[in-house]
């Protein structure tokens, strides 16, 4: 008999009833939870879960599991819960197990609820490994390449004027609390947020990889999600933008990598969890420029979403009760119908990617629109792989989509943009090799063979990451 998970804290995304399941990890977590409740050793079961998640390419989830592995002995040494390590470990383990059974890869990367557990776990670990810090993007962007990002040159007078405006508007925003205070106070906060948005708009340059363009999109996403005030990460974002503006005024034209990653993760968070609507098209376009995809949704009420979630849970139960046909891809068990649908999608996408990669070796025929089409084909494949649970394929396809996006933007970059950085086009040979790595991985999937955790998919991802993060060829 195994212990059933308690009801989790409020997860954000809807469960994925047709998504793949890493059964060895689910079983290992159930065993670890039972061991925890019986005050016996749980580390070995957690290690098995971590290894299974790595084999499936669920790398954000593996990172969470590894943190539990490290905290497990400390929770056993604290049977009374005197320093709270046991309580933190138990709550994180229960909710992680519940989240894993929802089969939603984007939620496992971007859930604030899971990140809060991860941060609490790492806070206890930091007492034994001082100097370590934990940030949201550690989970959200695990194994994902992030390109270099610029801040385009402007006159000193213009930057000084914009910074003065930004600082005047910043203080009311940092002091604000969500949905509290008088109507006048809320109006003041909204006016300050409007001013910050206006400054970010004026700062944004022509480079698709201009930091202020990214910051503007993030600020809009925070406001749409109702998270612009009162949330620690939002306050940190606005404050760090002020510091970046000071650097910009001193002539620094490269945005700090840590700030870019933090801003990108915040922008992606709510869209990864809830999907995007038609009015979010501009933000989704920015996400695509950075190698991240979302699902599109039809606007609905909270009641309709609760009904959908209840139906999804019921569908999972019925599938299990009826012994729904599944395919085993190593540690990953996938719904047979979803698997066949994915293979049809993948065939068309990989054929398009291979054709575009071969044509890319002819610079005189470079066509930005074709590069964008290739990027879109990669993103379609990545999104379909994500829905099925193929973690390695998701990461490689999304990175290939990002590489093609950079090639498209490099082809149309103006001399002014090229003069100061940074839209480097990954070499055609890198694109072709990565497309071949993706094809080889998909051939294994089609044959019912799991992609190896250290195989061609991760080798292709490593090559793309080097090309993307080094700014080009």
Q: List C-alpha distances in Å: 236 to 163, 178, 200, 229, 239.
A: 17, 15, 16, 11, 5
pLDDT at 419: 52
Q: Please indicate, yes or no, whether the overall pTM of this predicted structure exceeds 0.95.
A: no
Match 């905290």 to its residue by tokens: 71
Where are the strands (E) in 174-253, listed by range?
none
pLDDT tens across 320-331, in order? 544 458 889 999
415-459 tens-digit pLDDT: 555 555 555 678 888 888 888 899 999 988 988 888 776 678 888
Burial environment of residue 322 by CB neighbours within 10 A (0 to 12, 13 to 18, 19 or more):
exposed
Residue 328: Cβ within 10 Å count: 11
> What average pLDDT score do residues 48-66 get?
97
CATH no. of 325-469: 1.20.120.160
All CATH 1.20.120.160 domain ranges of the chain, comma separated, are: 325-469
Query: At residue 13, does pLDDT exceed 80?
Result: no
* pLDDT > 90: percent of the chain: 58
Q: Which residues pair with 254 in a beta bridge?
A: 150
C-alpha pair distances (Å), 237 with each of 127, 207, 259, 302, 303: 26, 21, 8, 28, 32
Residue 15 vs residue 216, higher pLDDT: 216
Task: Report helix, strand or coil for 288.
Answer: helix
Closest residue by Cα to residue 67 from 36, 41, 40, 88: 88
């Amino acid at each position: 008999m195994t212990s059933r998970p308690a009801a989790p804290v409020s997860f954000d995304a809807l469960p994925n009833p047709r998504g793949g399941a890493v059964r060895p990890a689910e079983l290992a977590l159930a065993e670890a939870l039972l061991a925890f409740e019986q005050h016996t050793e749980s580390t070995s079961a957690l290690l098995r879960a971590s290894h299974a998640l790595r084999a499936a390419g669920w790398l954000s989830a593996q990172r969470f599991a590894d943190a539990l592995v490290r905290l497990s002995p400390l929770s056993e040494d604290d049977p009374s819960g005197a320093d709270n390590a046991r309580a933190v470990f138990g709550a994180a383990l229960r909710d992680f197990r519940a989240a894993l059974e929802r089969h939603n890869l984007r939620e496992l990367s971007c859930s604030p609820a899971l990140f809060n557990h991860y941060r609490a776990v790492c806070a206890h670990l930091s007492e034994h490994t001082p100097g370590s810090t934990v940030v949201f993007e550690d989970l959200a962007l695990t194994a994902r390449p992030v390109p270099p990002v610029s801040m385009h040159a402007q006159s000193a007078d213009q930057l000084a004027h914009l910074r003065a405006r930004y600082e005047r508007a910043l203080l009311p925003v940092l002091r604000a609390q969500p949905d509290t205070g008088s109507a006048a106070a809320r109006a003041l906060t909204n006016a300050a947020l409007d001013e910050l948005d206006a400054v970010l708009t004026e700062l944004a340059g022509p480079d698709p990889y201009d930091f202020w363009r990214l910051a503007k999109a993030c600020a809009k996403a925070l406001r749409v999600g109702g998270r612009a005030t009162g949330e620690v990460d939002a306050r940190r974002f606005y404050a760090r933008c002020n510091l970046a503006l000071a650097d910009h005024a001193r002539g620094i034209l490269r945005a700090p990598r840590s700030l870019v990653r933090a801003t990108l993760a915040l922008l992606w968070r709510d869209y990864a969890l809830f999907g995007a609507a038609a009015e979010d098209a501009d933000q989704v376009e920015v996400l695509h420029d950075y190698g991240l995809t979302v699902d599109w949704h039809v606007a609905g009420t909270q009641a309709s979403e609760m009904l959908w979630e209840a139906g999804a849970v019921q569908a999972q139960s019925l599938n299990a009760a009826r012994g729904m046909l599944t395919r085993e891809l190593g540690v990953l068990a996938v719904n047979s119908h979803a698997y066949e649908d994915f293979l049809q999608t993948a065939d068309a996408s990989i054929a398009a990617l291979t054709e575009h990669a071969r044509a890319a070796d002819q610079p005189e025929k470079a066509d930005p629109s074709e590069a964008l089409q290739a990027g879109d084909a990669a993103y379609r494949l990545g999104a379909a792989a994500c829905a099925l649970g193929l973690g390695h394929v998701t990461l490689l396809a999304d990175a290939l989509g990002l590489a093609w996006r950079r090639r498209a933007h490099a082809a149309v970059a103006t001399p002014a943009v090229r003069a100061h950085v940074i839209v480097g086009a990954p070499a055609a040979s890198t694109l072709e090799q990565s497309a071949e790595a993706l094809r080889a991985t998909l051939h294994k999937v089609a044959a019912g063979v799991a992609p190896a955790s250290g195989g061609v998919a991760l080798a292709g991802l490593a090559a793309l990451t080097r090309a993307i993060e080094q700014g080009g060829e």
